[in-house]
A = this chain, B = another copy of it.
Amino acid sequence: MMIDCGEGTQLAMRRMKLRFSRLSHIFISHLHGDHVLGLPGLLSTLALHGKTGRVTVHTFPEGIDLLQRVVSFFCREPGYEIVYEPVSYDGGIVYEDNALTVEAFRLYHRVPCVGYVFREKAKPRHLVGDMVKFLEIPISKLHGIKMGDDFVKPDGTVIPNGRITKPADPSVSYAYCSDTVYDPRVAAAVKGIDTVYHEATYIDADMSKAHDRGHATASEAARIALEAGASRLILGHYSKSYENESRHLAEASAIFPNTILANEGLTIDLL
């Protein structure tokens, strides 16, 4: 899954040796060029690489017509299906499978813009093999027990779930807050999420510029992470007017210590 697709995304994927064939969903936050202009090239390259199956592009309805035109012009016979799924500025679930939901939520930029929250569903608990064998639990009961059921023996004795299972692996969660001004409603939308990415275009010295242009400062991103109760904050989307991001990091860390600077190629384990 990919969030946003600026110009050069396919080039970055090549540099990082990511496999094009595994891409299935692209979630677009808003229709500014630096978040979407890599799509036609990426989708064309997928075709050249013999991609099969389907890629779903999630974006606002006003972008779908334009993207379809451009992509179909430059990628005439893709060999795989390209599906465009409209996203509402009001947010809502945009993807769901057995293991994961993806939900859009409103951000506050110069144009309609959404963030995305990825939530792993609760995972099955781990069976304790020796107990399963000892109690001769029938296979038909195992799924329910993994999901938290107690086991009732033929004689009516109840074996509590905690004695035959170990806790499930934790479910990870990730929120992506693309271009936005600081707004407490963003913190509410990502409440309880472990890892929060939040744009940090500017530093505090340029706060008025940030507000004028619909962006946030690094310390504002940190306030969002703090208010949301996140365990980790990732900054990104830095203005090119700074030589480096040391002040972004310092200003955010003063408010929210567990802050990381995102830069091209950063790979994070969400666990």
The residues of A with any CB-CB pair to B shorter than 8 Å are 7-8, 10-11, 31-34, 36-38, 40-41, 44, 66, 69-70, 73-75
**Cα(A58)–Cα(B241), bound, Å:** 32
Contact A7/B38 with A33-B44, A44-B33 known, Cβ cut-off 8 Å = yes
Which residues of B lie under 8 Å from residue A70 when comparing CB positions?
A: 66, 70
In Å, the complex CA distance between A7 and B37 comes to: 9
Give 28 CB contacts A-B under 8 Å.
A7-B7, A7-B8, A7-B10, A7-B11, A7-B38, A7-B41, A8-B8, A8-B11, A11-B11, A31-B73, A32-B74, A33-B40, A33-B41, A33-B44, A33-B74, A33-B75, A34-B41, A36-B74, A37-B37, A37-B40, A37-B41, A37-B44, A37-B74, A66-B69, A66-B70, A66-B73, A69-B69, A70-B70
CA distance A40 to B8 in the complex (A): 13
- Say how far A84's CB is from chain B's closest CB, in angstroms: 16
**Nearest CB of B to A46, in Å:** 12
Using A33-B41, A33-B44, A37-B41 as known contacts, list a sample of 15 further A-B pairs with CB atoms less than 8 Å apart, ordered by residue number in A. A7-B10, A7-B38, A7-B41, A8-B8, A8-B11, A11-B11, A31-B73, A31-B74, A32-B74, A33-B40, A34-B41, A36-B74, A37-B74, A69-B69, A70-B70
Residues from chain B with Cβ under 8 Å of A75 in the complex: 33
A70, closest chain B residue (CB): B70
CB neighbours of A69 from chain B (8 A): 66, 69
CA distance A75 to B73 in the complex (A): 20
List the 4 shortest-distance A-B pairs measured between CB atoms, nearest first.
A33-B74, A7-B41, A8-B8, A33-B44
The CA-CA distance from A74 to B70 in the complex, in Å, is 13
- The docked-state distance in angstroms from the alpha carbon of A74 to that of B39 is 13
Residues of B within 8 A of A41 (CB): 7, 33-34, 37
By a CB distance below 8 angstroms, the chain B residues around A10 are: 7
**A36 contacts across to B, CB distance below 8 A:** 74
A7 to B73, CA, bound (A): 15
